Structure 1
Amino acid sequence: MDLYKFHTSNPAIFQQFSIKDILFLYYNCPQKEKIVQLHSSFNQFVFSLSGGRIFHQGELTYHVNKHSGYLLRRAGFLQEMNDDIKGWKLLAFYLKDDYLKKIFDEFREHLPLRDLPPVPKEMMIPMSINDRIRDCYFSLIPYFKQKTSLPEEILEIKLKELLYNVFIHPDNLQLLSYINSLADGYETPIWEVMEANYMYSLNLSEYAHLTNRSLSTFKRDFAEYYGTTPGKWLSAKRMERAKRLIDTTQKPIGEIAFENGFNNLSHFSRVFKDKYGVSPTLYRK
């Protein structure tokens, strides 16, 4: 499920408004299933107001709780409900790259850009939050309840104030390093995106979007780097990971199939048997 499309197509569930290249969201997460597979097609700044969720990408796990914040990069992931915390209320902001670069350039001379750490590769970049940052994002909540037209200039100023205070926080240098790389035109290597997201059930257009490339450029760059087609490479990588999880965990076969991009257990079993000569269940035995 593409989070951006799901959010924008369900305004009754997700309180929202947009100005320029920004989508503002304020909502209680409606998740019902224990684990859902999602992907984010734009950079998203998220501030958790109450409750929380657990995120999984590949072998990495992230815990989001009350008063935590993070930048979610373009990525596929699994979102899990915490057994002890069912609800999750949050504020989120989608900023398209060009707009984010514009804001960053406005602030550039005021930001601590010397001796930044390497650009992080993880899909979720946590941010430290102080009282000033918290006051900034809480001040936006009343606008979601306003019935009259919204003053775009004021909203943009308030968002800029929020981002500025996030950027200058001395513990947010990893996030700043990532934003700086975007502003400088850095193109994420195709292998970096694919190695982190191959296990998710995405089509080629969605993978191209994660890499910030057109579909034709994605196919060309993929072939140059891997020397094969995306379909063959994805199938091989998913089977390797599924076999490794069967070897090293006690997870149910259906769960392993889901975690490797297969929504149909019969299809997974058939592909596994074609690859390894035996069904996943017999292989485990």
Structure 2
Amino acid sequence: MNIYEIHKSNPDIFNQLSLKDQLFCYYECPQKEKILQLYSNHNQLTFTISGKRIIKHGDKKWILNDCQGFLLKRGAFHQELPDDFTDWKVLVLYLKDNYLKKIFDEFRTYLKLNNLPKVNVEMIQQFMLNDQIRICYESLLPYFENPQLLPDTIFEGKFKELIFNILVHPDNKHILAYINQITGDYVTPIWEVMEANYIYNLKISEFAEISNRSTSTFRRDFEKHYGTTPGKWLKMKRIEKARMLLISSEKSIGDIIFNCGFENVSHFSRIFKDTFNVSPSEYRNQNK
């Protein structure tokens, strides 16, 4: 599920404001399922107001609470209810590259861009909060109830102040490095998108969105890099991941299917048997 589209198309559930085509949401999470697979084709900044959620990407997990802010790059992830979950109130800012570039260029002379760390390829990045940053994002919250009270110029000023305070915080240089990269001529490599997200059940068009390409450009760049089609590559990567989990873990077949991007049991079993000439259960028993 595209979390941006879910938020944008349900303003009655997700209180929202817009600023020059950027979407800002403040809501109490309605999630009922234990775990959801989501993806976003936008960079997003997330500030927990109260409660918490667990975000998982690959084998790593992060607890979203009010102690840190989080940057979620374009990509897929699992959102999970913690065992002791309570209502989760959160502010989410969806930011497009062009608008980020405009703000970054405005602040460039005030930012320390020398000796920045190497950009981390991890999709999820937490960043530090201080009193200035908290005051900035908390000052936005009342306007979700009365958006007509806030002219765009004032709202944009508040938002820019928030971004500026995040970027100048000395412990947030990794965020500054990432914004510096994407606001230049940087194009996310195909391999970076695919290696991080192949375990999620996404359509080719959704992989293209995450990579910030049209579907046709994505297919062309993919085949140039990998020498095969996305469908064939995904099948190979997912079946190999599933094979390794069968012999190296105690995960159930259902969990393996969910964690390797297959559509359902029959889809997985058919592909596995076509590849290894035995069922997944038989393969596990033979190779324990």
CA contact (8 A) 1:50 1:67 kept: no
CA distance in 2, matches of 1:253, 1:81: 22
TM-score, normalised via structure 2 length: 0.96
Does 1:109 pair with 2:109? yes
Instruction: Supply the AA of the counterpart residue of 1:223.
Output: E
User: Which deviates more, 261-270 or 192-201?
Assistant: 261-270
Which residue is 1:194 aligned to? 194
TM-score, normalised via structure 1 length: 0.97
Instruction: Supply the AA of the counterpart residue of 1:28.
Output: E
SS at match of 1:48: strand
CA distance in 2, matches of 1:229, 1:112: 42
Q: How does 1:231-250 map to 2 (within 5 A)?
A: 231-250=231-250
Give CA deviations for 1:30-83 in whole Å, capped at 9, x if unaligned: 111111100011000110111111122122222222232111100111111111
User: Which deviates more, 89-98 or 63-72?
Assistant: 63-72
CA distance in 2, matches of 1:214, 1:194: 15
Aligned residues: 285
SS at match of 2:195: helix
Does 1:120 pair with 2:103? no
Which residue is 2:262 aligned to? 262
Instruction: Supply the AA of the counterpart residue of 2:194.
Output: M
CA distance in 2, matches of 1:61, 1:248: 20
CA distance in 2, matches of 1:14, 1:5: 11
User: Which deviates more, 218-227 or 254-263?
Assistant: 254-263
Which residue is 2:24 aligned to? 24
CA contact (8 A) 1:38 1:79 kept: yes
CA contact (8 A) 2:17 2:147 kept: no
SS at match of 2:49: strand
Instruction: Supply the AA of the counterpart residue of 2:127.
Output: M
CA distance in 1, matches of 2:147, 2:211: 38
User: Which deviates more, 140-149 or 19-28?
Assistant: 140-149
CA contact (8 A) 2:55 2:79 kept: yes
Q: 1:149, CA displacement in angstroms?
A: 5.5
Give CA deviations for 1:112-152 in whole Å, capped at 9, x if unaligned: 11100001100011110001100110010000111636411
Which residue is 1:5 aligned to? 5
Instruction: Supply the AA of the counterpart residue of 1:140.
Output: L
Q: Given the superposition, is the C-alpha separation of residues 12 and 213 from structure 1 closer, same or farther in structure 2, using an over 3 Å criterion?
A: same
SS at match of 1:94: strand
Q: How does 1:90-101 map to 2 (within 5 A)?
A: 90-101=90-101
Give CA deviations for 1:182-205 in whole Å, capped at 9, x if unaligned: 112111111011000011111111
Q: How does 1:33-48 map to 2 (within 5 A)?
A: 33-48=33-48
User: Which deviates more, 212-221 or 161-170?
Assistant: 212-221
Q: How does 1:125-204 map to 2 (within 5 A)?
A: 125-146=125-146, 148=148, 150-204=150-204
Q: How does 1:33-112 map to 2 (within 5 A)?
A: 33-112=33-112
Which residue is 1:213 aligned to? 213
CA distance in 2, matches of 1:46, 1:206: 22
Percent identity for Structure 1 against Structure 2: 55
CA contact (8 A) 2:143 2:149 kept: no
Ranges of 4+ aligned residues in structure 1 off by more than 3 Å: 147-150
Which residue is 1:15 aligned to? 15
CA contact (8 A) 1:49 1:67 kept: no
CA distance in 1, matches of 2:173, 2:132: 17
RMSD: 1.2
CA distance in 2, matches of 1:140, 1:241: 44
CA distance in 1, matches of 2:45, 2:111: 19
SS at match of 2:93: strand
CA distance in 1, matches of 2:234, 2:221: 15
